[in-house]
């Protein structure tokens, strides 16, 4: 009989009083019970703490000393966790009841697996299902269409994560604790002489890419093609939805910092030229958007032409042609205000 795998759940929260209770319940009501549920509150200013304390007897509550960003909150959760597997949940998302059972089974059946992710549903702010096919869903369909064996599946998922080709992480992914060296990760992050760099970075792709690259090439990642969580898409967290130039530039700055970290990481390892190229083009996309929304139109058009020739898909080209045309016609402020409605 297999020894029971202990799963630590790390939930990060910042001003999510409307959703955090449902997220916590989804973690507690699993067919495979979590060993511990750790909630890291990044100094919320709403009633999130009150909502979390309703579960004080069955969770571990950590409040950051100051608002530090989602990466730092996630790392604090990992540091305080003790399980064999660490699973991540954003405080406004919802897990399906079999989420942990399905992912633990993969880790149990193959000791080479260091990271597991899966498919998902999209819901709105009120919890209603949104039928939407995005880049990730299209990529998952492409990866799994010929039912690849685990080696080929792992290679495809690694390529998608490292090359930003459309692979959902966030509330979907779990890592094997022994595969993530947090001390060495901290040293890597400290190598960037940029003020508040950690605060600017997102947690999911950075931790996932670090885990993949710092383990043996034979280590595997796995994709479960089942919808095991609900991603809540609404105004406050809609990717790319900013109604002011200031908020748009802030989002771009965070994305750019994240890609700087991952591209630096990738450059230190023996990965394909395609992955390195994808990372460079991601940085170019952020430079293009920054120039566009800062009204540096000549720079933006130059970058736009380069990206049109080199990296964007047919769908992306259509989307970016519309964006560029609208911004040039309306100006950044009016375009963003209309886009967010």
Please write the tens of the pLDDT for every residue from 70-109.
999 999 999 999 999 999 999 999 999 999 999 999 999 9
- Domains in the chain, CATH or no CATH each: 7-232 (3.90.550.10), 245-339 (no CATH)
> What does the mean pLDDT of the chain come to?
93
Please, which pLDDT band fits residue 236 given cuts at 50, 70 and 90? low
Of the CA atoms within 13 Å of residue 186, those in its CB half-sphere come to 9
How many percent of the chain have pLDDT more than 90?
A: 79
Distance between first and last Cα of the chain: 55
295: left (phi over 0), alpha (psi -120 to 50) or beta: left
Q: Residue 40 pLDDT > 80, yes or no? A: yes
Task: Name the phi and psi angles at 321, rounded to 5.
Answer: -60, -45
For residue 99, give every residue at least 6 positions away whose Cβ sits within 8 Å of its Cβ, in sequence order, or none: 26, 30, 87, 118, 228, 229
- Poorest-pLDDT segment among 123-132, 238-247, 331-340: 238-247
Q: Residue 241 pLDDT > 70, yes or no? A: no
Token pair 């952020």 is found at: 286
Q: Residue 239 pLDDT > 80, yes or no? A: no
User: What burial class does residue 135 get, using C-beta atoms within 10 Å of its C-beta: 0-12 exposed, 13-18 middle, 19+ buried?
Assistant: middle
> Mean per-residue pLDDT for 290-294?
97
> Mean per-residue pLDDT for 225-238?
84
How many percent of the chain have pLDDT more than 70?
A: 97
Contact 36, 83 (CB under 8 A): yes
Q: Residue 238 pLDDT > 60, yes or no? A: no
Q: Residue 1 pLDDT > 50, yes or no? A: no
For residue 204, give every residue at least 6 positions away whose Cβ sits within 8 Å of its Cβ, in sequence order, or none: 88, 169, 170, 173
Q: Residue 164 pLDDT > 60, yes or no? A: yes
> Mean per-residue pLDDT for 240-250?
83
Please, which pLDDT band fits residue 34 given cuts at 50, 70 and 90? very high
> Mean per-residue pLDDT for 281-285?
93
Q: Residue 340 pLDDT > 80, yes or no? A: no
Q: In angstroms, rounded to a whole number, what is the distance separating the alpha carbons of residues 203 and 198?
A: 9
Q: Is 87 helix (H, G, I), strand (E, B) or coil?
A: strand
Q: Residue 201 pLDDT > 70, yes or no? A: yes
> Mean per-residue pLDDT for 165-176?
89
For residue 2, the model assigns a pLDDT of 58
∠ CA 179-181-186 to the nearest 5 degrees? Answer: 145
State which H helix or E strand residue 114 sits in: strand 113-123
Task: Find residue 28's DSSP bridge partners.
Answer: none
Q: Residue 240 pLDDT > 60, yes or no? A: no
Q: What is the pTM of this model?
A: 0.92
């Amino acid at each position: 009989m297999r020894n029971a795998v202990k799963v630590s759940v790390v939930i990060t929260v910042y001003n999510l009083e409307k959703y955090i209770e449902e997220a916590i319940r989804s973690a507690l009501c699993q067919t495979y019970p979590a060993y511990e549920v750790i909630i890291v509150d990044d100094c919320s200013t709403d009633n999130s703490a009150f909502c979390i304390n309703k579960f004080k007897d069955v969770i571990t509550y950590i409040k950051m000393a100051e608002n530090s960003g989602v990466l730092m909150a996630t790392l604090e959760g990992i540091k305080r966790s003790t399980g064999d597997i660490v699973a991540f949940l954003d405080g406004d998302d919802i897990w399906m009841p079999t989420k942990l059972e399905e992912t633990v089974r993969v880790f149990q059946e193959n000791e080479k697996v260091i990271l597991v992710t899966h498919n998902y549903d999209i819901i709105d702010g009120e919890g209603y299902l949104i039928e939407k096919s995005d880049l990730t869903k299209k990529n998952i369909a492409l990866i799994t269409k010929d039912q690849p064996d685990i080696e080929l599946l792992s290679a495809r998922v690694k390529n998608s994560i490292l090359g930003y080709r459309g692979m959902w992480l966030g509330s979907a992914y779990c890592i094997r604790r022994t595969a993530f060296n947090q001390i060495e990760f901290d040293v890597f992050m400290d190598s960037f002489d940029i003020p508040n760099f950690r605060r600017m970075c997102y947690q999911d792709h950075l931790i996932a890419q670090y885990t993949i690259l710092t383990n043996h090439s034979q280590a595997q990642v796995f994709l479960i093609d089942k919808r095991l969580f609900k991603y809540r898409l609404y105004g406050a967290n809609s990717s790319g939805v900013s109604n002011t130039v200031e908020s748009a530039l802030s989002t771009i700055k965070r994305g750019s910092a994240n890609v700087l970290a991952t591209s630096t990481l990738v450059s230190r390892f023996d990965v394909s030229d395609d992955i390195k190229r994808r990372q460079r083009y991601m940085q170019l996309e952020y430079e293009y958007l920054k120039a566009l929304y800062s009204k540096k139109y000549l720079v933006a058009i130059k970058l736009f032409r380069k990206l049109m020739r080199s990296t964007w898909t047919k769908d992306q080209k259509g989307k970016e042609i519309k964006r560029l045309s609208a911004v040039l016609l309306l100006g950044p402020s009016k375009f963003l205000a209309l886009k967010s409605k």
